[in-house]
Amino acid sequence: MAHQWRGVIREYADRLPVTEATKVITLGEGGTPLVHAQKLSELTGSEVYLKVEGMNPTGSFKDRGMTMAMTAAVEAGAKAVVCASTGNTSASAAAYATAAGLKCAVLVPEGKISMGKLSQAIAHGATLLQVDGNFDNCLDIARKLGESYPVFLVNSVNPARIQGQKTGAFEVVDSLGDAPDIHVLPVGNAGNISAYWKGYKEYAAPFESANGTLPAVSTKTPIMWGFQAAGAAPFVAGHPITEPDTIATAIRIGNPASWDTAVAARDESGGLIEAVTDDEILDAHRWLSSKEGVFVEPGSAAGVAGLIKKHAAGEAPSGKTIVITVTGHGLKDPQWALRTEDGSDVQPVKVPNDVVTVAAELGLEEN
């Protein structure tokens, strides 16, 4: 029988803080593809899968948390929501606020968010303010607005966001039949690594739901591998970075809000959080589009860059099941696809309106 995916809240209601009576704000998020990455599997000798989160309604994993945060905002009687963002959270907040009939204000670092994300927030009618500062400054202001003004904060410091985002781990286990051996993902504000770890732990043990105890779904939890951009790698430094810098603007964050839970995810799982350079990120971005057929934004490629780097260093195991979350769609920030390895821009060849010349240009000989 045909089944229409109902969004993460209804699909996983018994594992989320909602009831039958909850007015759910959804755009049908979640249910994203888990794609077998053939070339990465060949390279590493493991079975590597990509959790393609760009397939969410606003093109990033943020929608999983935003359905919960906006549902909570409506439940709390909020009239307006606010968030700080490197772009994807603002796109998601703007769309879900529209669905909820709420006003939305977003604070972004001036000049440091991609055109696609900026367009989304504007298209959905958010009030967008470009702050003369970085993401960490934006988040400070957003938190203060949430505390002292009549606006509801929908950043991942709101626990509802983490609740929604943990469903990514549930879907991986539901697809594979068990947890993977290693789960790899980019780390910025560190909400997502915290959320996946929470989801994996909840699925590996009996769960007390409102309707009774649910049995464990998986037999184990994965090792968590997080990767930060080298210029914005506070977990690697062991302290906040005041001037984070990377071309991967999505993860250009120096003072992650979910610090403690990310460290717990790393340490409890026996995992790691390491850094990859911008060049490694761009190489992985190119690998995904040219070898796997998956188009992501640069920040989303950090996990793949990390796995390739660990493999090259002889530090990635073979014979394992590895899942990498690729967090946002390539169309968010498409300019990088047009840049070649030597840094010049691709110029598509111009041809006259003539089949013989086109065939010659394509190197085709007539049958």
Binding site for ligand F0G (CB under 6 A): 60, 62, 85-89, 186-192, 250-251, 297, 299-300, 327-328
**With respect to ligand F0G, which residue has the nearer C-beta, 112 or 201?**
112
Residue 47 CB neighbour total at 10 angstroms: 18
Closest to 142 measured CA to CA, from 109, 118, 113? 109
- Hey, what are 12's tokens? 């996983």
Helices (DSSP H) in the chain: which residue ranges?
8-11, 38-44, 62-75, 88-100, 115-123, 135-148, 159-165, 167-176, 191-203, 234-237, 259-268, 278-287, 302-312, 355-361
**Which amino acid makes up residue 36?**
H
| 181 within 8 A of 324, measured Cβ to Cβ | no
**With respect to ligand F0G, which residue has the nearer C-beta, 62 or 124?**
62
Q: Which helix (H) or strand (E) segment is 324 a member of?
A: strand 321-326
**With respect to ligand F0G, which residue has the nearer C-beta, 47 or 227?**
227
* CB 288 to ligand F0G: min, Å: 13
* CB 188 to ligand F0G: min, Å: 3
* CB 343 to ligand F0G: min, Å: 23
| 71 within 8 A of 25, measured Cβ to Cβ | yes
Task: Round the CA-based radius of gyration of the chain to a whole number and report it.
Answer: 21
**75 vs 128: CA distance, rounded Å:** 24
Q: Is 3 helix (H, G, I), strand (E, B) or coil?
A: coil
* CB 257 to ligand F0G: min, Å: 8
* CB 85 to ligand F0G: min, Å: 3
* CB 186 to ligand F0G: min, Å: 4
**167 vs 62: CA distance, rounded Å:** 12
**With respect to ligand F0G, which residue has the nearer C-beta, 13 or 249?**
249
**With respect to ligand F0G, which residue has the nearer C-beta, 47 or 88?**
88
| 158 within 8 A of 72, measured Cβ to Cβ | yes
Classify residue 117 as exposed, middle or buried by CB count within 10 Å of its CB (0-12, 13-18, 19+).
buried
**With respect to ligand F0G, which residue has the nearer C-beta, 217 or 235?**
235
* CB 145 to ligand F0G: min, Å: 16
**With respect to ligand F0G, which residue has the nearer C-beta, 113 or 316?**
113
* CB 247 to ligand F0G: min, Å: 13
- Hey, what are 274's tokens? 């390491």
**136 vs 219: CA distance, rounded Å:** 38
**With respect to ligand F0G, which residue has the nearer C-beta, 26 or 88?**
88
Q: Is 316 helix (H, G, I), strand (E, B) or coil?
A: coil
